[in-house]
Chains A and B, each alone.
Chain A
Amino acid sequence: MRALFGASMLLYHLTQFGQLLILDPFGASAYFIEPIWYFKALGITTHVPWLTVPIFLLLMLSTGSFMAGYRTKQSIIVLVLCIFYLKGVRDSFAGDVHHRYVVLVSMLFLFYFSKCSHQFSYDARRIKDNVVEEWEASWPIRAAQTYIVMFYFWALVAKLRVTGWPWFDTAGQIQAKLLERSLRSGFDAEGELVKRAHSFELAEYVWMIWTFGALVAVFELIAPAVLFVRLRPVTIAFLVGAFCFHVANAILLNVQFYIYPFVFFTFFNMAFFARWYQSKYSDKRCEV
């Protein structure tokens, strides 16, 4: 689980911070128009462009060492600090705070207190007692599953709290976002939309959009059931639904969250993989 999570995060970091890497390291030091809260607390008001690449490299290195289970707890600390910094930079330029690292940081918090480094890791070589009892292996996974699932439920609650049922109207939020994202790049010389013309066309089919919205609402409402109904078809239906949700958001609304579904590894039975791995490599020492 730790290795899969770490490997996926390597790609995830690139998608989230790639836009910072192409900035000129010796160019202007942008003054943040609305620093994120911890930048305000620390008095960080300006971007330091030359610092971005070293911090990103440190992020990738610490993610790699976390993946390999080398100095795992220290790696998590470094990893989280790097995320805080780079996310702070990205969000402080314009003041738009993104939530794409909330679940990951929470899962890293759980990993920190778990025994994820006691097996299939370099740290396992140094640990005298690397026996992991069943409850020790399962509590971080169950906690992560709970958090991931409730995220969807709370999203539904938030929509109802802030906007109410008009959110789901045929002329509701989904249609509004389709229009907004398709008009974002404007029109070309021929009067055609530059990007996401398919989103603009979809916005015209109001009942189709309403159906999508209703499906999302039902999905978010019953998502917590997957925590209690331990049936594989239910779990698979939830995972497929969530995957389709995030991919659709990426294609139609340009929401750069399409790699997030890697957190769904928490719903797969890693014990099965562990037994297979040990039976195949039982003569070799466990590494990663």
Chain B
Amino acid sequence: MSKSNITRLLIGFHLAVFAAVVLRIDTFPLTWVPMYSQFHGVSDLTIPVGDLPRRNRGFEVATAEGKIQYIGAEQLNIPLASFRRIYYERAFLKGPPKHLRERAALNPLSDGLFDLFYADPAVSIDWEKRLMTMLNRSLERKTGDPDYIVLAVAVSEFATLSREQRRKGDFADLNITTRTATLRTAVPSS
């Protein structure tokens, strides 16, 4: 390529990269480098406390015929890290970081631009429906099958730490609470 063409290429490359940063476009391979930029603990900080045996066992599910099963990463044939996010976040209706920060403190231009293509994913996605669909379709269970999953339960402990606690570095009391996520398959309306 000639020098002038390389110059045009570089101008285009840097413009595209810079535009992604300015407009906050985080669509691979463009990005505005937002990783870990959103901090959720300005007041209280709530963190899931893992339980490896429970997580390895997976979701407690009930089928249409009333049987109880456990569906985990092995049954779904997905990486453990992905299952962890599904179990501790999606089951509790929390989306991925990309969704949560996408529209946070966003300039009106970018907000309007994104709205042309899709609604705010932080509030528009029905994670309950998505998760139940994921469980059934992954295991090839259809509506009407006796083993169709109609209920999925995830249980997790959460530690809640106040800002004052964290500023003192005092973690003797993690204020642990147990939450249960109960997800149901939507019943088709007749």
A residues whose Cβ falls under 8 Å from a Cβ of B: 19-20, 23-24, 27-34, 36-38, 46-47, 49, 84, 87, 90, 93-97, 99, 101-102, 105-106, 109-110, 113, 135-136, 139, 143, 146-147, 150-151, 154-155, 157-159, 161-163, 166-167, 169-173, 175-177, 179-180, 183-187, 194, 200, 203-206
Contact = CB atoms under 8 A, between A and B. Distances in A.
6 contacts: A31-B134, A97-B28, A154-B32, A161-B24, A187-B49, A206-B166
A43 to B, nearest CB: 14
A32 B95 CA distance: 14
A59 to B, nearest CB: 16
A20 B29 contact: no
B77 interface: yes
Interface of B: 1, 3, 6, 9-10, 13-14, 17, 21, 24, 26-42, 45, 47-52, 75-86, 89-90, 95-99, 101, 104-105, 125, 127, 130-131, 133-134, 137-140, 157, 159, 161, 163, 166-171, 174
Contact of B51 (A34, A99, A186): A186
Contacts of A29: 77, 138, 140
Given A32-B134, A96-B96, A183-B48, A157 B21 contact: yes
A27 B86 CA distance: 19
B96 A34 contact: yes
Given A47-B77, A96-B82, 8 more contacts: A33-B86, A87-B28, A101-B29, A139-B10, A166-B39, A169-B167, A171-B163, A179-B159
B17 A176 contact: no
A104 to B, nearest CB: 9
Nearest to A87: B28
A206 B168 contact: yes
A99 B31 CA distance: 8
A113 B1 contact: yes
Contact of A159 (B37, B84, B89): B37
Contact of A93 (B10, B33, B78): B78
